[in-house]
Copies of this chain bind each other. A is one copy, B any other.
């Protein structure tokens, strides 16, 4: 499991690291450093922010998660899923719904090949307002990252 996996990769096991890893995988997807930090601190008030940050980076480095950036200034970390997926991102409440992108990725892969691009990943996002936030949609006519 986790410990062995890290050891084989040459990383040491520390109580902090264990707690951070465990907490990350217990949480919802799309976790920010701050969110994880808060969660971790519920269990151990002595863990530093840098340690959380560094271990989140490590989780990415060993291929268990990926950064995602929805366009609000906050970097979130998404557990790696076997099949790629897209995000419906609510511009108001920031909630995220994931959806299957098999068909879309097929098209994109072709496009990449046509452009002699060596593909490393896809980002497929729909930005808008979830059902609950629909009424608020007039605000923010501008400024959002819609593309």
Show the binding face of A for B, using Cβ within 8 Å: 57, 60-63, 66-69, 71, 75, 78, 84, 86-88, 90-91, 97, 99, 103-104, 107-108, 111-112, 115-131, 134, 137, 141-147
Known: A86-B108, A128-B112. A147 touches B123 (CB 8 A): yes
- Rounded to whole Å, the gap between the CB of A74 and the closest CB of chain B is 12
A52 to B46, CA, bound (A): 44
CB <8 Å contact, B117 and A88? yes
The 7 nearest A-B residue pairs measured at CB: A121-B146, A123-B125, A67-B145, A61-B142, A119-B128, A116-B131, A120-B128
9 inter-chain pairs at a CB distance below 8 angstroms, sorted by A residue, are A61-B143, A66-B144, A67-B146, A67-B147, A71-B123, A104-B104, A104-B107, A121-B127, A123-B147
How many of these chains are in the complex?
A: 2
Residues of chain B within 8 A of A142, CB atoms compared = 60-63
Instruction: Output the residue of A86, A126, A144, A147 with the most chain B CB within 10 A.
Output: A147
Residues of chain B within 8 A of A78, CB atoms compared = 147
A129 to B141, CA, bound (A): 34
Residues of chain B within 8 A of A75, CB atoms compared = 145
Known: A119-B126, A121-B128, A127-B120. A144 touches B111 (CB 8 A): no
A137 to B119, CA, bound (A): 10
Q: A117-B126, A119-B126, A120-B137 are in contact. List 12 more A-B contacts (CB 8 A).
A: A57-B143, A60-B142, A61-B141, A66-B146, A68-B147, A78-B147, A88-B112, A97-B115, A117-B129, A120-B144, A121-B146, A122-B146
